[in-house]
A and B are shown apart, each in its own frame.
Chain A
Amino acid sequence: MTQTPAPYIALSGVRKAYRIGGEMMPIFAGLDLAIPRGDFVAVMGPSGSGKSTLLNMLAGIDRPDAGTLSIGTSRLDQMGEAARSAWRAHNMGIVFQFYNLLPMLTAAENVELPLLLKPLSRKERRMRVEKVLDLVGLSGREKQYPAMMSGGQQQRIGIARAIVSDPGLLLCDEPTGDLDRKSADEVLDMLRFLNRELEKTIVMVTHDPQAALYARRTLHLDKGDFVEEKRAA
Chain B
Amino acid sequence: MSTHTRQALVMIRTNLSSLPRRSAISASMALSVALVVCVLAGFLSMAKGFETALSGAGSPAVAVVLGGGTNQETGSDIPATVIRTLDAMTGDLGVARDAGGKLVSSREIVAPVDLSQRTMALRGMDAAGPSIRDGITISAGRIFTPGAREIVAGNRLAEEFGLQVGDTVRLGAVDWTVVGHFSAHGSAFESELWADLEAVRAAFDRQGQVQSLKLRLADPASLKRLQGALATITETPLVAVSEADLYAAQSGRTASLIRLFGWPVALLMAVGATAGALNTMTSSVSDRTVEIATVRALGFSRLSAFLGTWVEAVVLAGAGVFLGLLASWLIFNGWQASTIGANNARMAFQLAVTPDVLLTAGLLGLAIGILGGALPALAATRLPLTAALRARG
Which residues of A come within 8 Å of B, CB atoms?
A: 52-53, 56, 59, 61-62, 81-82, 85-90, 94, 96-98, 100, 102-105, 109, 113-114, 116-119, 161
B84 part of interface (Cβ distance < 8 Å): no
**Is the C-beta of B302 less than 8 angstroms from some C-beta in chain A?**
yes
**Chain B interface SS verdict (over half):** helix
Residues in chain B within 8 A of chain A (CB atoms): 3, 6-7, 10, 14, 17-18, 290-291, 294-302, 385-386, 389-390, 392-393
**Are A117's CB and B14's CB within 8 A?**
no
| Given A89-B298, A102-B14, A117-B3; 18 other pairs, CB 8 A cutoff | A52-B386, A53-B386, A81-B302, A82-B301, A85-B302, A96-B389, A97-B393, A98-B392, A98-B393, A102-B291, A113-B10, A114-B298, A114-B299, A116-B6, A116-B7, A117-B7, A117-B299, A161-B298
Partner of A119, one of B3, B390, B392: B3
A114 vs B220: C-alpha distance when bound (angstroms): 72
A104–B386 touching, CB < 8 Å: no
* Residues from chain B with Cβ under 8 Å of A113 in the complex: 10, 295, 298, 300
When distances are taken between beta carbons in the complex, the residues of chain B under 8 Å from A97 are 392-393
* Cα–Cα, bound, A114→B294 (Å): 11
- Verify B393–A88 contact, CB threshold 8 A: no
Q: How far is the CB of A217 from chain B (nearest CB, A)?
A: 25
A8 to B361, CA, bound (A): 60
Q: In the bound complex, what is the Cα–Cα distance between A103 and B291 (angstroms)?
A: 9
Nearest residue, chain A, Cβ from B9? A116
A97 and B154 CA atoms in complex are apart in Å by: 79
Chain A residue nearest to B17 in the complex (CB): A104
Q: Can you spell out 6 A-B residue pairs with CB atoms less than 8 angstroms apart?
A: A61-B386, A82-B301, A82-B302, A102-B294, A114-B299, A117-B3
Q: Chain B residues with Cβ under 8 A from A85's Cβ?
A: 296, 299-302
Minimum Cβ distance to chain A for residue B348 (Å): 53
Q: Are A116 and B3 in contact (CB under 8 A)?
A: yes
Measured in the bound complex, the distance between the Cα atoms of B298 and A1 in whole Å is 35
> Could you tell me the distance in whole angstroms from the C-beta of A173 to the nearest C-beta in chain B?
8
B17 proximity list for chain A (CB < 8 A): 104
Residue from A56, A61, A62 having most chain B Cβ neighbours under 10 A: A61
In the assembled complex, which residues on chain B have CB atoms less than 8 Å from the CB atom of A89? Answer: 298-300
Tell me the bound Cα distance from A97 to B391 in angstroms. Answer: 12
Q: How far is the CA of A171 from the CA of B175 in the complex (A)?
A: 98
